[in-house]
């Protein structure tokens, strides 16, 4: 019985920290984005440069946050990739002539401002950052 | 087609190599992030440079004096591109390769084009455009994009890649979402002019078989690639076909490849830290050489190769993996002659010091020598087996 309780405690603790890490980052999009949900696959394709479009065919313009807690969490928790892998993916396509690197900003305020004013823009910030004028997406 | 040849042969002075090296120094002192992308301006500048050390036993490999240890493998590129508008992007990329006796002292234009995206289903690229064939053709000369120092030689041979990297023409591309349950299709279809590179292993191989090409054979190349991003997360399947013809001159007559077919079938899978790929390719080509005053002589080749590779991100900075590749000249009807096959077990590791600098170490255990080995640097003949070690440092921005 004690062993079972200990295992349950361990699993609950691990789950708590996993959920807590994911909850630190939110995905924001320009209000032109249709719907409230983005799939993991589309999120990954857009933020690795594999796709320039959302599922409905509208143009996707990712923007990257270059530092901070949300930056540290986004790649492993939302894309399940390291940041270096994501950058390598982008650069491989840049050097084949297919894409340009997405814009990046140091501050979450700049990310929110860019996403709010740019149709098709999508970015990520910490949950606690002010984000008026943008739509918050959940990941399916 | 002098204009086209001009684009393909455009050479810039060795001053550009110095510029690339200067860019490397700038990266070293942290200036790189400032020049890599200017905020609120669409113009972007990127580059990379690598330096390798290669050593082998038994045979010299890839046109280098590897039995003594060779540093004759240097690559660099400079990329300038501008997202002019949401739909239009223009750019140019210069690329320099020195690989032993191959490559040159000046960079070439790797690609130079305009790219207009009509919508999700249709985009158009025009100019000197990279050819999408198989898993790696359009990205194989961007070394920082891979864990491997050498991609599988029979299919993406570094000594012969220059000829097949790009075409002067038009590419149509796009993707079509089938359904949530069936994934999506991506296509690429192109048509353009095609030129043998003047400074890689293709012409050296012809020369060593008795055909001394003068100038650069050229012709047309249509082709396509179709890939299916399956409903299984991380799994892509696809197929490509490259066709080309080429005509040129020899020291004593003419050279012609009426029509060559090069097909590829592939699978690519990635899941979190794991990545794996497989590709099978078949080359069918006929060559006709005509010595002035004599009847034409035609020969054909049916060459088949494949590879299977896999790797793992051990940490955010460290990757390790291995691959096996096998190639056979089926048309020779002699599987026992090392000149007709190539088998290579490779083990590789890569460490990213930071976002800009990385290092690679790779070992190859090769049996056979139908690709990658030349008489020019093996004048005493070839032994059947070769072991190769590659160490490389690189930077990219």
B211: CATH: 2.40.160.10
Q: Is B103 left (phi over 0), alpha (psi -120 to 50) or beta?
A: left
Over range B277-286, report the average pLDDT.
97
Closest chain A residue to the Cα of B123, Cα to Cα: A98
Q: Are A97 and B129 an interchain contact pair (Cβ–Cβ within 8 Å)? A: yes
A 10-49 residues inside an 8 A Cβ radius of B: 40-41
pLDDT given at position A7? 63
Q: Are A80 and B272 an interchain contact pair (Cβ–Cβ within 8 Å)? A: yes
The pLDDT tens digits of the residues spanning A45-80 come to 999 999 999 988 899 999 999 999 999 999 999 998
Could you identify the residue written with the tokens 């048509």? B191
Report residue B12's pLDDT band, with 50, 70 and 90 as the boundaries.
very low
pLDDT at B7 over 70: no
Q: Are A92 and B145 an interchain contact pair (Cβ–Cβ within 8 Å)? A: yes
Q: What SS3 class is residue B50?
A: strand
The pLDDT tens digits of the residues spanning B174-189 come to 999 888 789 999 999 9
- B385 Cβ contact list (under 8 Å, min separation 6): B58, B365, B366, B367
Q: Are A92 and B129 an interchain contact pair (Cβ–Cβ within 8 Å)? A: no
Q: Quote the number of domains for chain B.
A: 1
**Which of A51, A55, A91 is opposite residue B46, by nearest beta carbon?**
A91
Report residue B35's pLDDT band, with 50, 70 and 90 as the boundaries.
very low
Q: What domains are there in chain A, each with its CATH number?
A: 25-139 (3.40.190.10)
The pLDDT tens digits of the residues spanning B199-240 come to 889 999 999 988 999 988 999 999 999 999 999 989 999 999
Measured between alpha carbons, how far is A129 from B381 in angstroms, rounded to an integer? Answer: 69
Q: What is the CA radius of gyration of chain B?
A: 21
Residues of A in contact with B126 (CB under 8 A): none
pLDDT given at position B380? 96
Contact status of A118 with chain B (Cβ, < 8 Å): no
Over range A17-21, report the average pLDDT.
46
Give me the count of residues in chain A. 140
Q: Could you tell me the residue range of the domain that residue B220 belongs to?
A: 2-396
Contact status of A56 with chain B (Cβ, < 8 Å): no
To test the contact with chain A by mutation, choose from B77, B84, B138, B269 the residue with the greatest count of A C-beta atoms within 10 A, namely B138
Looking at the complex, report in whole angstroms how far the Cα of residue A82 sits from the nearest Cα belonging to chain B.
Answer: 6
Q: Are B237 and B230 within 8 A, CB to CB?
A: yes
Query: DSSP readout, B78-99?
Result: EEEEEE-SSSEEEEEEEEEEEE
Residues of B in contact with A104 (CB under 8 A): 37
Looking at the complex, report in whole angstroms how far the Cα of residue A3 sits from the nearest Cα belonging to chain B.
Answer: 32
Closest chain B residue to the Cα of A85, Cα to Cα: B316
**Which of B83, B89, B138 is opposite residue A96, by nearest beta carbon?**
B138
Measured between alpha carbons, how far is B3 from B90 in angstroms, rounded to an integer? Answer: 19
Over range B111-136, report the average pLDDT.
97
Tell me the pLDDT of chain B averaged across its residues. 90
Measured between alpha carbons, how far is B207 from A67 in angstroms, rounded to an integer? Answer: 55
Residues of A in contact with B272 (CB under 8 A): 80-81
Q: Are A92 and B139 an interchain contact pair (Cβ–Cβ within 8 Å)? A: yes
pLDDT given at position A13? 57
């Amino acid at each position: 019985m004690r062993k079972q309780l200990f295992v349950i405690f361990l699993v609950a603790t691990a789950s708590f920290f996993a959920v807590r890490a994911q909850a630190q980052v939110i995905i924001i999009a320009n209000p032109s984005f249709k719907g409230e949900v983005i799939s993991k696959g589309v999120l990954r394709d857009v933020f690795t440069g594999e796709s320039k479009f959302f599922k409905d065919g509208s143009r996707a313009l990712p923007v990257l946050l270059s530092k901070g807690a949300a930056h540290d969490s986004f790649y492993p928790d939302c894309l399940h990739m390291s940041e270096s892998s994501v950058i390598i993916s982008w650069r491989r396509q840049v050097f084949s002539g297919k894409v340009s690197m997405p814009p990046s900003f140091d501050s979450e305020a700049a990310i929110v401002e860019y996403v709010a004013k740019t149709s098709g823009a999508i970015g990520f910030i910490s949950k606690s950052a002010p984000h008026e004028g943008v739509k918050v997406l959940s990941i399916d | 087609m002098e204009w086209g040849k001009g684009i393909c042969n455009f050479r810039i002075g060795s001053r550009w190599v110095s510029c690339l090296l200067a860019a490397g120094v700038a990266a070293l002192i942290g200036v790189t992030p400032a020049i890599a992308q200017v905020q609120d301006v669409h113009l972007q500048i990127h580059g990379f440079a690598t330096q390798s050390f290669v050593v082998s036993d038994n045979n010299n490999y890839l046109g280098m004096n590897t039995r003594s240890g060779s540093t004759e493998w240097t690559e660099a590129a400079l990329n300038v591109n501008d997202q002019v508008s949401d739909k239009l992007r223009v750019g140019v990329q210069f690329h320099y390769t020195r690989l032993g006796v191959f490559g040159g002292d000046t960079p070439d234009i790797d690609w130079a084009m305009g790219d207009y995206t009509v919508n999700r289903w249709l985009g158009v690229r025009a100019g000197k455009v990279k050819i999408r064939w198989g898993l790696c053709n359009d990205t194989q000369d961007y070394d920082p994009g891979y864990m491997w120092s050498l991609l599988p030689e029979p299919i993406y041979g570094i000594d012969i890649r220059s000829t097949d990297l790009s075409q002067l023409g038009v590419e149509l591309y796009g993707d079509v979402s089938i359904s949530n349950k069936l994934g999506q299709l991506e296509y690429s279809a192109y048509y353009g002019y095609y030129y043998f590179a003047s400074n890689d292993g293709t012409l050296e191989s012809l020369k060593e078989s008795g055909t001394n090409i003068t100038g650069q054979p050229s012709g047309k190349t249509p082709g396509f690639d179709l890939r299916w991003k399956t409903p299984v997360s991380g799994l892509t399947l696809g197929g490509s076909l490259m066709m080309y013809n080429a005509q040129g001159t020899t020291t004593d007559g003419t050279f012609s490849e009426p029509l060559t077919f090069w097909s590829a079938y592939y699978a690519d899978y990635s899941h979190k830290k794991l990545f794996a790929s497989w590709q099978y390719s078949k080359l069918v080509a006929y060559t006709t050489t005509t010595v002035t005053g004599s009847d034409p002589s035609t020969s054909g080749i049916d060459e088949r190769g494949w590879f299977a590779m896999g790797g793992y991100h051990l940490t955010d900075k460290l990757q390790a993996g291995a691959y096996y590749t096998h190639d056979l000249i089926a048309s020779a009807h002699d599987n026992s002659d090392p000149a007709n096959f190539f088998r290579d077990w490779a083990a590789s590791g890569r460490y990213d010091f930071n976002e800009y600098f990385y290092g690679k170490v790779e070992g190859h255990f090769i049996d056979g020598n139908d690709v990658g080995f030349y008489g020019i640097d093996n004048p005493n003949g070839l032994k059947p087996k070769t072991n190769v070690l590659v160490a490389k440092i690189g930077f990219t921005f």
